[in-house]
Amino acid sequence: MPRAVAAAAVAGPTVAIDIGGTKIAGALVHPDGAMTAVTRRPTPRGTDAEGVMAAVTDVVAELARAPLWARAVRCGIGSAGPVDTSRGTVSPVNIGAWRDFPVQERVAAELSARGARIPAVLAGDGVAMTAAEHWLGAARGHANALCMVVSTGVGGGLILNNQLHPGPTGNAGHIGHISVAFDGERCACGGHGCVESLASGTAIARWALAQGWTGPDPTAAGVAASAAAGDPVALAAFDRAGRALAAAIAATATLVETDIAVIGGGVAASGDTLFAPIRRHLASYAALSFVRDLQVVPAALGTHAGLIGAAAAAMMLLPTA
């Protein structure tokens, strides 16, 4: 167990809040990773910023009724991004009502109002997933790791020397916006040839459709099903995505000497349809001796990664709370 997490393990439970485009969840996460008082609300649609915050407030209020609430020692907030942890704000792409919303301050106020005057920390969902996988998942035991979420977008985070490395604004490890195609198409971020524009679920489906693929389910999952059945266009779409991911993984490993890349998210659920081309292309991109043994493995925690990750990030970033 990393030193910071081990230090935290002598304390009480961590309040975990996981904020995403479809749900807002909460739990008390204990030092052994067990979760109690798990609750969730659908993320409100068609409302203003306060309407979304009301769902967060409901989650905190329900957690406050748990018998172990009084023993909580810290709070971790994991949120879809973009995030700015230096200011405690979020502007999630999938929560249109929140732009520069001061979620950390507002959650801290709700905690305090219910008797929990404890420190709170904000982490982007990619960083939270990284903390979770390093604590209890596929990156456990690795001092230097890259963890990624490949879904509608592509995000990630870094563990360096057994420490979570979120960076000054919480966006370090955002591998989705590394450029891997010098003359590539313009990305939504404003760059060109970004990994996300080539390897996200949206990008995979878009490219396959543009190449004439006509499967019944026009999503990355549909393309994956066709690829598993041997459809050549679908296979090419995943090969293209796998090559982009391999190039970015190799570049990251070369820069900071990570020895494992853990990949989760909806697209990773396609299994070897995605992982086989990543590993095949990685052999040509990770050529230097110190990155040749780089592992690429699927994430282990699945749907639990959000809450476990929010808690793990807090335990690593607020170890003495």
pLDDT per residue as tens digits for the range 179-196: 999 888 898 888 999 999
Closest among 143, 150, 133 to 275, alpha carbons compared: 150
- 77 by DSSP, 3-state: which? strand
Per the listing, tokens 């960076």 go with: 167
How much of the chain, in percent, has pLDDT values that exceed 70?
A: 96
Mean pLDDT of 296-306: 91
The pLDDT assigned to 10 comes to 52
Which residues, 6 or more positions from 7, have their beta carbon under 8 angstroms from its beta carbon?
319, 320
- E strand segments, the chain: 14-19, 23-29, 35-42, 74-79, 83-84, 89-90, 120-124, 145-150, 154-160, 163-164, 260-264, 295-298
**Residue 4 clears pLDDT 50, i.e. is over it:** no
pLDDT by residue (tens digit) across 86-95?
999 999 988 9
- The band of 302, judged by pLDDT with boundaries at 50, 70 and 90, is confident
- Cβ pair 312, 125 in contact under 8 A: no
Q: Tens digits of per-residue pLDDT, 54-71? A: 999 999 999 999 999 999
Cβ-count burial 30-55 (b if 16+ within 10 Å, e if not): bbebebebbbbbebbeeeebeebbeb
State the pLDDT at residue 8: 46
321 band by pLDDT with thresholds 50, 70 and 90: low
The residue written with tokens 């970033």 in the block is: 317
Compute the Cα dihedral for 234, 240, 243, 247 and give only its sign.
negative
For helices 232-256 and 201-210, what crossing angle results, to 10°?
A: 140
